[in-house]
Structure 1
């Protein structure tokens, strides 16, 4: 996310963007087809940063609320709580794009 830092996105917002991007990429790698392509795009428009992760799986992400002792399953819950908004764009048999927005607070 060095490109975002170059656009003035620092501190907590940058850390949240990195965390959520990592969660979406991990989901795409884990749940997508073996050898499938994963593409990440980040852009800033005014006070909002949108990150999109496209993969070749047609399965929707699921927000789970696992038991505290569970080893995994918290990624989309983090996206739901920390992002200003998020969603899924379907591309038919070509997969989907999962995106989230983070609002940058003025200095």
Structure 2
């Protein structure tokens, strides 16, 4: 995870203001963690998670693609105060300008989000 954040921060360093970078790094961490913990990518030794970052004049667009899961789908949900996890997509829903997911039989599942500049 630190390598993913460092890579993305390096891409955005001179192009995106600090507060937006911080939001993108937080949300990227949450979505990649979900991909590793809740997809078939994280359960196999050869599992793959792919990150794509696109910058436009209005927003940063991030896509995280994994192998998908037969038992779960991305859902933002409220979590009880004492719970140790489960807030990743809730944070994405609260902070991102827009977000969503799609599933492709060949590529797998992609969760994406946008952060306004």
- In the superposition, the TM-score normalised over structure 2's length comes to 0.82
RMSD: 1.3
Given the alignment, which residue of 72, 86, 100 partners 2:85? Answer: 72
User: How far does residue 60 in structure 1 lie from its aligned partner after superposition?
Assistant: 2.0
Moved more, 69-78 or 27-36: 27-36
Distance in 2, Cα, partners of 1:26 & 1:90: 18
Question: Which 4+ stretches in 1 moved above 6 angstroms?
Answer: none
Given the alignment, which residue of 31, 36, 41 partners 1:29? Answer: 36
Residue 68 of structure 2 contacts residue 103 of structure 2 at CA under 8 Å; is this kept in 1?
no
- In the superposition, the TM-score normalised over structure 1's length comes to 0.90
Residue 57 of structure 1 contacts residue 94 of structure 1 at CA under 8 Å; is this kept in 2?
no
User: How far does residue 24 in structure 1 lie from its aligned partner after superposition?
Assistant: 0.4
Partner of 2:26: 19
**Which consecutive residues of structure 1, in runs of 5 or more, have no partner in the other structure?**
none
CA deviations 1:41-99 (Å, max 9, x no partner) are 11101121000000001442111111100010100000001000001121126421100
Given the alignment, which residue of 52, 63, 76 partners 1:41? Answer: 52
SS at match of 2:13: helix
Partner of 2:12: 4
Partner of 2:115: 102
